Amino acid sequence: MPSRNHLDKIGRKKKKKWTEEAMERALIEVKSGRCTVRQAAKEFGVPKSSLGDRVSGRVTPGSRSGPAQLITSADEELLVEFSLYMSKHGFPLTKQQLVSFASSIYKRQHRRVAFSKLGQTWWLNFRKRQEKNITIQPADNVVRGRTVCVRKEAVDQFFHLLNTVMDTHGLRDKPHQIFNCNETGFQLGRKRVILPKSASLGYKPAPGSRDHVSVLACFSAAGDDIPPFIIYSKAYPGGVCYKTQGPPDALYGWSDSGCITSDLFKKWFLKHFLVHAQKQRPLLLIFDGHKSPVNLEVVEAARKEDVILLCLPPHCSQILQPLDTGLFALLKQHFAAMIGDGCGTDTHFAVSKKEFSVVFKDSYQVAKEEEGVGIVKEGFRKCGIYPLSHFVISEGHLMPSQGMGPVAGPSLSTLAQGLQTVEDLTAAEPTS
C-alpha cells in the first residue's frame, strides 16, 4: 500500500512545469495560424504532444491530465460538505466512514461494478485535493468506559452547540419538537441461582438458551413517544405473535448482536421516526451517534425533512441522556414485575424471545402514562436539555481538561469550522 511520502515523491517526479495559462496562449497562437505546434510549444514551454492533442480535439482544453477521478469533482464537493455538516453537528467522521461514504457514491455511478475501487491511494489524493478544507491534527484524548467523571470540555462544547441550534431554529420553548432516542438492552434466559456445592458439580446449563434483545426508545421533551423499535439477536422469533401482541405500531428488526447497527438506524429513521414524528418543523433529534452511526441516506433525508441531528459526546450517557436518567430503570422494574421477578435492577430476565414483546407491551405502556411522562420530562430537565440549562449538571460529575492524558491519535478536522473528526488508523482499509 503506497505511503503519503511515496506518493509525494512520485508527484515530484511527474510534476508538470507548464501552466494551463501557457497552454491556452500556445493554443491561441496555433489556431490563429501565427505559429506551428512545434514553434508554439517551444515558445511557451509546453509539451508538443499535449498541445497537439488539444489542437486536434483529442483532449478538451482545460481538462485535467492523468486518469479520470473515480468520483466527480461535484460529488467530491458534496462529500466535503457532508463531512463538514457531520462535524458541525457532533458526528465526526472517521477515515473509514468517509471512504465508505465515497464508495457508496462510486457504486451509485457504477452499478455494474461488484466492488469499490476507492482505497488508500484515493484517500491520500483526496486529502491532497482538499487540503484547504481538512487537515490532520492531534485528537483530544477520550476517557474510555463509563466513568464517574466525564470531560468538562466535552460537556461545555455540547451545550454551546445545543444553545446555538436552539437559538438558530427557535426551539427554546418547543418541547414537542425536541426528541431523544436511546437504546437499552435485555438479556433473556436463565437467572443465576444459588445451589449446594455438591449439586453444582454436575450442573450443566442448557446450550443456546440466552438471547439478547434491545429496545430503541424515543421520546420528546414534552413526553410524546415514537413507538419503540425492538431488535432481536440473530433472527426474529418464530410465528407472528411477537408483532400482533407487541406494543402498538412498534417496529421490529434483528442483528447478529441484538443491538442497533447503522442499517437498522437508517430503517428506523426513514420508515419509523419520520412517519410517526409530528409534522411541525424543525425537529431536533439528540442521540448517541457513536452507538448508532448514521450514514449518508439518513443525513440526506434529515436535511430534506428539516430534522436536526445532534450527537452527544462519547461516554456521557449517564449525565446527558434523558432516557438513561430514569425511564429505562422504570421500564425494567415494571418488566420484571410482569414476569414475577422482584429484581428489576438485574439485566437478565427469565422470559423467552417469543414472549418478550408481549410482556414488554404492558411495561412500555407505563412509560406513556402519567408516571412515565413525568419521568421523561424530569430526565430532560436533569440533563439540562429542556429547559436548556448548563448549570444543572453537577460539577462533581465533570473532570477538568487539564486532567487529560496523552492524545489518542491523529484526526481529521475542518479548518473553517474548527471541528474535529477522529481518524481510525487501525481500521481495515478498502483495497486500492
Question: What pLDDT band is residue 40 in, cutting at 50, 70 and 90?
Answer: very high
Percent of the chain with pLDDT strictly greater than 90: 30
Contact, 292 vs 333, CB < 8 A?
no
| pLDDT for the residue 429 | 36
**Three-state SS letters, 11-35:** HHHHCCCCCHHHHHHHHHHHHHCCC
DSSP per-residue letters across 128-146: HHTTTTEEEEEPPP---S-
Task: Output the CA–CA distances (angstroms, integers) from residue 43 to 23, 29, 40, 414, in the order listed.
Answer: 11, 10, 5, 43
Taking each helix axis from N to C end, the angle separating 48-56 and 37-44, rounded to the nearest 10 degrees, works out to 130
Torsion angle of C-alpha atoms 82, 85, 91, 92, degrees rounded to 10: 70
d(C-alpha 376, C-alpha 343), whole Å: 22
Q: Which residues pair with 251 in a beta bridge?
A: 229
- Which pLDDT tens digit goes with each residue over 385-419? 999 988 777 665 565 554 444 333 333 333 223 22
| pLDDT for the residue 431 | 37
Q: Is the pLDDT of residue 11 over 80?
A: no
| pLDDT for the residue 319 | 84
CA 293: distance to chain centroid? 3
Taking each helix axis from N to C end, the angle separating 370-382 and 327-338, rounded to the nearest 10 degrees, works out to 150
Tell me which residue of 272, 278, 381 sits closest to 326, measured CA to CA: 381
Most confident of 195-209, 328-342, 374-388: 374-388
Of 179 and 8, which is predicted with more confidence?
179
Task: Output the CA–CA distances (angstroms, integers) from residue 153 to 187, 350, 387, 431, in the order listed.
Answer: 35, 42, 21, 38
Question: What pLDDT band is residue 86 in, cutting at 50, 70 and 90?
Answer: confident
- Average confidence (pLDDT) over 84-92: 74
| pLDDT for the residue 59 | 79
| pLDDT for the residue 270 | 95
| pLDDT for the residue 222 | 94
Count the Cβ atoms, other than its own, within 10 Å of residue 7.
15
Of 230 and 156, which is predicted with more confidence?
230
355 contact partners, CB below 8 Å, separation of at least 6: none
- Which pLDDT tens digit goes with each residue over 154-185? 888 889 999 999 999 999 999 999 999 999 99
The least confident of 9-13, 85-89, 260-264, 389-393 is 9-13
Of 104 and 45, which is predicted with more confidence?
45
Q: Is the pLDDT of residue 137 over 50?
A: yes
- Average confidence (pLDDT) over 224-233: 94
| pLDDT for the residue 133 | 81
Q: Is the pLDDT of residue 305 over 90?
A: yes
| pLDDT for the residue 191 | 53
| pLDDT for the residue 121 | 86
Burial of 376 (0-12, 13-18, 19+ CB in 10 A): buried
What is the average pLDDT score of the chain? 77
| pLDDT for the residue 80 | 85
Tell me which residue of 260, 253, 325, 267 sits closest to 289, measured CA to CA: 260
What amino acid occupies position 409? G
Q: Is the pLDDT of residue 307 over 80?
A: yes
Of 384 and 118, which is predicted with more confidence?
384
Strands (E), 65-166: 134-138, 150-151
Count the Cβ atoms, other than its own, within 10 Å of residue 26.
27
- Average confidence (pLDDT) over 55-59: 84
Percent of the chain with pLDDT strictly greater than 70: 71
- Average confidence (pLDDT) over 77-89: 80
- Which pLDDT tens digit goes with each residue over 244-298? 889 999 999 999 989 999 899 999 999 999 999 999 999 999 998 766 667 888 9
Tell me which residue of 108, 109, 101 sits closest to 83, measured CA to CA: 101
**Which helix H or strand E contains 4, and what residues bound it?**
helix 4-14
- Average confidence (pLDDT) over 355-366: 88
- Which pLDDT tens digit goes with each residue over 324-360? 888 898 888 888 887 765 444 455 677 888 889 988 9
Q: Which residues pair with 348 in a beta bridge?
A: 187
Question: What pLDDT band is residue 118 in, cutting at 50, 70 and 90?
Answer: confident
Q: Is the pLDDT of residue 148 over 50?
A: no
Most confident of 104-108, 151-155, 204-208, 377-381: 377-381
The DSSP letter of residue 311 is E
d(C-alpha 224, C-alpha 211), whole Å: 30
What is the length of the chain?
Answer: 432
| pLDDT for the residue 409 | 34
The least confident of 138-147, 192-201, 416-425 is 416-425
| Grid cell locating 361 | 407491551
| Grid cell locating 68 | 479520470
Tell me which residue of 382, 378, 389, 408 sits closest to 151, measured CA to CA: 408
Tell me which residue of 18, 2, 22 sits closest to 10, measured CA to CA: 2
d(C-alpha 322, C-alpha 313), whole Å: 14
Burial of 154 (0-12, 13-18, 19+ CB in 10 A): buried
